[in-house]
Amino acid sequence: MRRLVTELVLPLLPRLSPGRARLRLGSNTAHYGDAAAELEAFARPLWGLAPLAAGGGSFEHWELWRRGLAAGTNPGHEEFWGAVTDVDQRLVETAAIGLALALAPEAVWDPLSGRERDDLAAWLLHSMSVEAVDNNWRFFPVMVGLGLDRVGVRFDPGPNLARLERLESFALGGGWYSDGPTAQRDYYVPFAMHYYGLLYATLAADRDLGRAGRLRERAAAFALDFQHWFTSDGAAVPFGRSLTYRFAQGAFWGALAFAGVEALPWGEVKGQLMRHLRWWSGRPIRDSAGLLTLGYGYAQPALAEQYNAPGSPYWALKAFLPLALAAEHPFWTAGERAARELAATSVQPEAGVALMRCERGRQVVMLSAGQHHTWVRHGAAKYAKFAYSTAFGFSVPGGSWGLEQGAFDSTLAVSDDGTHWRPCEVPDCLSSRGGLLHARWTPWPDVEVDTWLLPRPPWHIRVHRLRSGRGLSSAEGAFAVDRDPAAYRAAEGPGHARLDSPAGLCVIEDLCGARSGELVLPLPGTNVIVPRTVIPTLRGEHEPGEHWLACAVLGLSGPCSSTPAPSGTGPASGWPEPPGLEEISALLPGGHPFGDR
């Protein structure tokens, strides 16, 4: 891990500005200006460098960061970052500086002159007085407070205690938080809410013992659910926003170690983090100069949110917090353990998801019917699709014209003109009764769709009740499969579509037999795992009125060429059959017309 931190940081050095306060990694396309973007790139490496120094690791270039801190907080310097204002990206980056002061003052504070310390302290103290977004952002002044307290700078603790009270009000039970007063239950829960909470519980335990205990207890409970989000080889389910932070997905496991929370045996906690880092080490996520790129499985700028600048991916370095621990800590001395055997299905109602463990843990599929996000770019694709897979990822749209541009994997899209399509975007009336997920969505005022999702590993079942005041076309996609391998077999026809390739097997079966199958080739650069895919899809035509649709979807990673192609509308042979309509009917509230088919 020490070597990896250095490997990630060294390519940044030639990009430092003359005063060392700015890191210029490329054109800034975030909604905030260049000064904040270049501060972000400068500060985020500290998430890895500060733990490295705290644990005794060497880094030969600390002087560069000290010069940058001095210049960036000096109002008279040409590279001054500017004062932090309300709801300001600069406030986000103060957290990494607070961590550096708290963990490694001898590297970033002690060598500064008196004037330089005064400037840095004044800049940070001012940042604690501004308005933050009412979510995990409230932790940023708390992080600054931890750093200032370590270096002996006095401040009023009252506002931070009030912020912590507000943050604790977002607790949902079962170890879960919401990220503010919203529906979001994504990676901001582990790599923000819990991560900062565990830092506070460790560094402020002597003066806030009760809160520290609660934060630890919630993290321990959350770990039991969160382990289901990872495959046996360390891949995490791609879901939600900020996926460009990549191995920050696993930062929670390191934070458990830092806080001494043995939620799982230490060998298992260590295994979760190490496998995750190894999984990412095999992905093309750095450019030819060694810089982390915007994207997920590869450089994919179209995936980025409007708050992602070139330096944003370096939040990934939050995964290296265990480097602050002594060599004799049980996290380091424990032998790495494989992931434990977990239940095939884990329903997590606080998040509105069900996670299916397939292929003996080699793939995890998340079914989701409980979230939406209308603010971030591609929010519907990142939150409101029906299924998210560690093997097949998900896709974001490449345009608004046709199925190829829409890239409608793992969702149902409807159209009233055959050209412009509307998928599930803002689900409502959410529930997760007995493992059956339900959502209602309204693509037009006179069109209402109820969707139920049923996990039956390795299959999942989707049922839709479509009530429409207009004639509609429908397209329901399975997973998006890599189409670059040349040797693959495909089948499409009445009631089914299938692709079997070295990249995996994907099948979608119409359980009612009314739709026809086809293969859709979406635009390149739409899927988050691989750049070119094909989506097995069911197509249907529907007159005004009420219609019931049902399908079964199977996705298996790796080559499955020995499995015969399906014929007709029955399930693919060689694998457990999905439940029939009679079983599905019994699960749906109030019954439906499937029973007489």
What pLDDT is attached to residue 563? 44
Mean pLDDT, to the nearest integer, of 132-155? 98
* H or E element in which residue 54 lies: helix 46-54
In a 13 Å sphere around the CA of 56, the CA atoms on its Cβ side amount to: 4
- What distance, in Å, lies between the first and last C-alpha atoms of the chain? 58
SS (HEC) of 248-309: HHHHHHHHHHHHCCCCCCHHHHHHHHHHHHHHHHCCCCECCCCCECCECCCECHHHCCCCCC
Closest by CA position to 572, among listed 479, 519, 506: 506
Residue 52 has pLDDT above 90, yes or no: yes
Query: What is the structure's pLDDT at 570?
Result: 42
Residue 260 scores a pLDDT above 50: yes
pLDDT at 261 over 80: yes
Hey, which of 70-74, 511-515, 593-597 has the most confident mean pLDDT? 70-74
Q: Decide if 461 contacts 551 (C-beta within 8 A).
A: yes
Give the residue range(s) of CATH 1.50.10.20 domains in the chain.
2-333
Res. 59: pLDDT tops 70: yes
User: Is the per-residue pLDDT at 560 higher than 70?
Assistant: no
Half-sphere exposure of 104 (CA within 13 A, CB side): 27
pLDDT in tens, 69-78: 999 999 999 9
Domain with CATH 2.70.98 in the chain: 354-563+576-587
Gap between the Cα atoms of 15 and 28, Å rounded: 14
**How many angstroms separate the CA atoms of 119 and 123, rounded?**
6
Mean pLDDT, rounded, for 312-338: 97
Is residue 250 pLDDT above 60, yes or no?
yes
Beta bridge partners of 547: 466
DSSP β-bridge partners for residue 363: 358
Q: What is the pLDDT of residue 433?
A: 75
**Average pLDDT rounded to a whole number, residues 88-100:** 98
Q: What are the C-alpha distances in Å from 359 to residues 371, 391, 504, 555, 556?
A: 27, 11, 12, 10, 7
Instruction: Give the fold, CATH level 3, of 354-563+576-587.
Output: Beta-galactosidase; Chain A, domain 5 (2.70.98)
Architecture category of domain 2-333 in CATH: Alpha/alpha barrel (1.50)
- Whether 571 shows a pLDDT value over 50: the answer reads no
Residues β-bridged to residue 358: 363
Strands (E), 249-374: 345-348, 353-358, 363-368
* Alpha carbon distance 159, 157 (integer Å): 6
How far from chain centre, in Å, is Cα 98?
Answer: 24
Q: Measure the CA–CA gap between 137 and 154, rounded to whole angstroms.
A: 22
Give the pLDDT confidence score for residue 593 in this predicted structure: 64
Q: Which among 277, 314, 328 has a CA at the least distance from the CA of 4?
A: 277
Asked if pLDDT for residue 572 goes beyond 80, the answer is: no
pLDDT grade for 574, boundaries at 50, 70 and 90: low
Residue range 270-323, pLDDT digits in tens = 999 999 999 999 999 999 999 999 999 999 999 999 999 999 999 999 999 999
Contact 51, 322 (CB under 8 A): yes
- Residue 565: which pLDDT band, with cuts at 50, 70 and 90? very low
pLDDT tens, 475-494? 999 999 999 877 778 899 99
Cα–Cα distance, 206 to 110 (Å, whole number): 24
